[in-house]
């Protein structure tokens, strides 16, 4: 087995990547080079999507990034993984994906390259030497958003991280992340689930969430809402109501297995109270428009916390 660029479009070169694939994946009936050529055709659009999520910051690395498309790490078609490494400004990216389709290869690239963006952004998402609890949760969330963006969500994301937390003692990793841990475990499962909560329960858009990064997800919530209260108790209450712990921990079984939201909440609609206190004049219209454009309208509709109305 050897890496090759044989029959890759433009020699495997794009503006940001240099592709090669393992020659064991080619030959009669093989996926290569057709699969990697499909990735080549789409990868720059995917890069632009990620760059937009991160406010078009500089990635701070040398281009093109070498990308190797490899067999599954264990030889099983259901085994896969990806990793990147950095030395100075030089990074390399390995995608170990077996017989998965081109969308899957792209999704793993999104998961890894967004971690490079977190590292470059340097506001708290990235951990100590790896993505850590929070960064792995955001990476997983953004990989899911990639699938939503290409209207191809479903079977490729059945390895739920959120369920790892739901099937555990459900400790508070929103306020207690481990910056050295990026494994598939309850910590990263809690982070993944909470970020989907910020998105699909509270209604914050991707760019707002990414820009609110800090050392804990509890503080990400506070940055987004202006609410100084600990978000974990309400998050816990909402999730526990839908996925009780007795007699056996309930987990997500349908749809996006990382994201069950929106779920029923005891939070009251607060717009009527707000209208009574501040008549619907042009000031209110401007405030409502600003909240909508900033991805903050749904928190207004979904909370009785006055801080969320500011």
pLDDT in tens, 50-100: 999 999 999 999 999 999 999 987 655 556 889 999 999 999 999 998 788
Within a domain: 172: yes
224-249 in b/e form (b: 16+ CB < 10 A) is bbebeeebbebbeebbeeebeeeeee
Instruction: Write down the H helix ranges in the chain.
Output: 34-53, 102-121, 132-149, 162-166, 186-196, 206-211, 217-225, 232-242, 271-277, 282-293, 297-301
Q: Please check whether residues 259 and 293 belong to one and the same domain.
A: no
299 vs 226, residue with greater confidence:
226
Q: Please check whether residues 134 and 148 belong to one and the same domain.
A: yes
Q: Please check whether residues 188 and 281 belong to one and the same domain.
A: no
Rounded percentage of the chain residues whose pLDDT exceeds 70: 82
Within a domain: 117: no
Q: Please check whether residues 260 and 137 belong to one and the same domain.
A: yes
Q: Which residues contact 163 (CB under 8 A, 6 or more apart)?
A: 189, 251, 252, 257, 258
Within a domain: 168: yes
pLDDT of residue 281: 52
* Cα distance between residue 152 and residue 99, in whole Å: 17
Q: Please check whether residues 73 and 131 belong to one and the same domain.
A: no
pLDDT of residue 305: 41
Q: Please check whether residues 303 and 172 belong to one and the same domain.
A: no
SS3 content of the chain, % helix, strand, coil (to 5): 45, 10, 45
Within a domain: 20: yes
* Cα distance between residue 97 and residue 105, in whole Å: 7
pLDDT of residue 160: 86
pTM of the predicted structure, to 2 decimals: 0.87
Q: Strands 3-4, 65-70: parallel, antiparallel or unpaired by DSSP?
A: unpaired
Q: Please check whether residues 21 and 86 belong to one and the same domain.
A: yes
- Mean pLDDT within 25-37: 93
Q: Give the model confidence (pLDDT) of 161-182 as tens digits.
A: 999 999 999 999 999 999 999 9
295 vs 115, residue with greater confidence:
115
Within a domain: 76: yes
Within a domain: 109: no
- Mean pLDDT within 33-39: 98
**What total number of domains does the chain contain?**
3
Q: Please check whether residues 75 and 162 belong to one and the same domain.
A: no
Q: Please check whether residues 253 and 131 belong to one and the same domain.
A: yes
Q: Which residues contact 162 (CB under 8 A, 6 or more apart)?
A: 189, 192, 193, 196, 252, 257, 258, 259, 260
SS3 label, residue 249: coil
Task: For residue 19, report the phi and psi dihedrals to the nearest 5 degrees.
Answer: -90, 150
**Residue range of the domain that includes 277:** 271-309
Edge-to-edge, what's the strand order for the sheet holding 65-70?
3-4, 17-22, 65-70, 90-96, 81-87
* Reported confidence tier of residue 186, pLDDT bands at 50, 70, 90: very high
Q: Please check whether residues 185 and 249 belong to one and the same domain.
A: yes
Q: Please check whether residues 225 and 291 belong to one and the same domain.
A: no
Answer with the one of 98, 133, 163 that is the final residue of a domain.
98
Which residue(s) pair with 20 in the sheet?
A: 68
pLDDT of residue 152: 73
Q: Quick check: 68 and 12 in contact, CB under 8 A?
A: no
Q: Please check whether residues 79 and 13 belong to one and the same domain.
A: yes
Q: Give the model confidence (pLDDT) of 88-145 as tens digits.
A: 999 999 999 878 899 999 999 999 999 999 999 999 999 998 999 999 999 999 999 9
Q: Give the model confidence (pLDDT) of 191-218 as tens digits.
A: 999 999 998 888 788 999 999 999 999 9
* Cα distance between residue 81 and residue 109, in whole Å: 10
């Amino acid at each position: 087995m050897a890496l090759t660029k044989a029959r890759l479009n433009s020699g495997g070169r794009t503006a940001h990547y240099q592709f090669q694939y393992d020659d064991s994946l080619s030959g009669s009936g093989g996926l290569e080079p057709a699969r990697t050529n499909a990735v080549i055709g789409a990868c720059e659009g995917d890069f632009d999507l990620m760059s937009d999520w991160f406010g078009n910051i500089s990635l701070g690395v040398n281009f093109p990034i070498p990308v190797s498309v490899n067999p599954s790490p264990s030889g099983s078609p259901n085994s896969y993984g990806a990793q990147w490494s950095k030395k100075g400004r030089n990074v390399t990216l390995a995608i170990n994906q077996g017989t998965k389709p081109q969308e899957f290869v792209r999704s793993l690239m999104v998961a890894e390259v967004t971690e490079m963006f977190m590292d470059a952004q340097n506001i708290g998402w990235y951990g100590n030497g790896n993505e850590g609890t929070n960064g792995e949760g955001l990476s997983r969330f953004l990989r899911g958003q990639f699938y939503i963006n290409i209207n191809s969500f479903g079977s490729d994301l059945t390895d739920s991280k959120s369920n790892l937390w739901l099937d555990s003692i459900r400790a508070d990793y929103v306020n207690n992340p481990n910056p050295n841990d990026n494994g598939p475990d309850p910590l990263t499962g809690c982070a993944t689930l909470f970020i989907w909560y910020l998105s699909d329960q509270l209604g914050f858009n991707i760019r707002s969430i990414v820009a609110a990064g800090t050392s804990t997800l509890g503080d990400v919530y506070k940055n987004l809402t202006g609410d100084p209260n600990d978000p974990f108790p309400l998050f816990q209450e909402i999730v526990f109501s839908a996925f009780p712990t007795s007699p056996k921990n309930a987990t997500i079984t349908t749809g996006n297995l990382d994201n069950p939201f929106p779920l029923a909440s005891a939070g009251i609609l607060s717009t009527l109270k707000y209208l009574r206190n501040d008549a619907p004049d042009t000031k209110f219209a401007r405030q409502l428009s600003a909240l909508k454009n900033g991805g903050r309208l749904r928190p207004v509709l979904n909370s009785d916390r006055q801080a969320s109305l500011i």
